[in-house]
Structure 1
Amino acid sequence: LIFKGFGPFAMHVVNASWEAVKELSKMGLGKEAGNVKLITEEIPVIYDAVRQYTVNMWNTHKPQLVVHVGVSGIAQEITLEKQAHNHGYDKLDICGCTPDGECCVEGAEECIETCIDMQAVCDYINQSDKKVTAVVSTDPGRYLCDFIYFSSLTINKSRTTFIHVPPLDRPYSARQLAEGLRLAIVAMLQQLKLVN
């Protein structure tokens, strides 16, 4: 299982996605996740780095599940993204660049949806006794989050997801975000029949 958060950008000097992923790494996935190995990595907010990293990650690790995590300034809950887009990447990354043609993967379809049932994942989180809530979204935002998600979906849409988290303490701590992410992963692993 590969679990990735993003590094700092713009007003997100401390990126809640990476803080939540680091916290999850400390907490662990718990007994519900069985013997799944968790690999966590921080990704820079750079289009070229994301493109190269995504291909290398799939080739090197051959993961059973990839969960990308990013921060959204407008999110107020754990936001489970259903799909990603190929075009419209006109926002500058931290190096001041956009991808060629504002496109993620030349010649690919315009929109790809994950095969994982994100509504079922959402229900699993919301029915838990934890104090975090989740929603499902169809718009990851045409920035690096959407870009990395589309990149992975073109490689394997059966085993790729993306989760947006709100900024820290708006309203959740890193620990609470990590707990929400843990619940999401358990639900995904159950769908994939990787755990009971």
Structure 2
Amino acid sequence: MTVKSTVKLKKKELSKRGLGENIDLQVMQLPVVYQKAKEQVIKIWTTLQPLLTVHVGLASSTTVIILEQCGKNKGYQDRDACGFHPEGACCVLDGPEKIESTINMKTLWKNVSVEGIDIIFSRDAGRYICDYTYYTSLYYGNGRAAFIHVPPLSNHFLQITWSRGAEQHREK
């Protein structure tokens, strides 16, 4: 339940994975605790100031990859791993009801495939830590975030999605 250290991959390794030379990829594990996850997301946006973030949530009860388009602000009644839920059951007091990603996840859904794994498009990330984290990231990152729910699988799909999401932002 603690945040693991940031893992920095060398540019040569990123290039081997098809992510390009000018990428500084950092991988972090967020805790299943509303407040700590929010603090880490805010720190990512204020300290690292990334072009975009790609959040990945494990959906152990599914066999498909789910590309989430938006985050919702309200409805967080379920308690986290420490037994708490957010004040007012929302991510950001007085924040917009929902925030859409600037990454067109529907386009990704139509253009990305992973052998042997179905991919679906969604507009509801579930009103728990995943949706809470996504909304918070969309809020502090001005929409420059993506969220992918994944079943247990390899990281190949994540590399493809991150690369294509970055390409969309470079084109703008």
2:18 aligned to 24, 29, 32, which one?
A: 32
Deviation at 1:65, TM superposition (A): 1.4
Which stretches of structure 1, 4 residues or more, deviate above 3 A after TM superposition?
25-32, 130-133
> Is the alpha carbon distance of 1:29 and 1:111 closer, same or farther for their aligned partners in structure 2, counting shifts above 3 Å?
farther
Structure 1 CA distance for aligned equivalents of residues 75 and 39 of structure 2:
19
Out of 54, 76, 90, the residue aligned to residue 67 of structure 1 is 54
Aligned to 1:13: none
Q: Which residue does 2:168 correspond to in 1?
A: 191
Q: SS of the counterpart of 1:42?
A: coil
Q: Distance in 2 between matches of 1:78 and 1:30?
A: 24
Q: CA RMSD in A?
A: 2.4
For 1:151 and 1:190, locate their aligned partners in 2 and report how far apart those are by CA, in whole Å. 23
Query: 1:66/1:142 Cα in 2 relative to 1: closer, same or farther (>3 Å)?
Result: same
Match of 1:150 in 2: 135
Q: Structure 1: which 5+ residue stretches go unaligned?
A: 1-6, 9-17
Q: Is the 8 A contact 1:86 1:150 kept in 2?
A: yes
Equivalent in the alignment of 2:156: 179
Q: Aligned partners of 1:150, 1:105: CA distance in 2, in Å?
A: 9
Describe how 1:85-104 pairs up with structure 2 within 5 A: 85-104=72-91
Distance 2:49 2:105 in 1: 22
- The alpha-carbon deviation at position 133 of structure 1 amounts to 3.4
Q: Pick closer, same or farther for the CA change 1:158–1:87 going to 2, 3 Å.
A: closer
Quick one: which amino acid aligns to residue 161 of structure 2? A
Q: Is the 8 A contact 2:65 2:119 kept in 1?
A: yes
- Number of aligned residue pairs: give it: 164
Which TM-score applies when normalising by structure 1? Answer: 0.75
Q: Per the alignment, in what secondary structure is the counterpart of residue 192 of structure 1?
A: helix
Normalising to structure 2: TM-score of the pair? 0.85
Following the alignment from structure 2 to structure 1, what is the Cα–Cα distance between the partners of residues 64 and 142?
A: 24
8 Å CA contact 1:88–1:102 kept in 2: the answer is: yes
Change (3 A) 1:104 1:29: farther
3-state SS of paired residue (2:50): coil
Deviates more, 1:117-126 or 1:27-36: 27-36
Deviation at 1:28, TM superposition (A): 4.3
1-side partners of 2:122 and 2:116: how far apart? 20
Amino acid in structure 1 at the alignment position of 2:149: H
Structural mapping, 1:8-47, within 5 Å: 28=14, 30=16, 32-35=18-21, 36-47=23-34
Deviations 1:99-138 (A, max 9, x none): 1111110000111110111012122322x6x443321111
* 8 Å Cα contact 1:29/1:182 also seen in 2: no
Contact persistence 2:52–2:141 (CA under 8 A): no
Q: Take 2:167 and 2:109, find their aligned partners in 1: how far apart are those partners?
A: 13
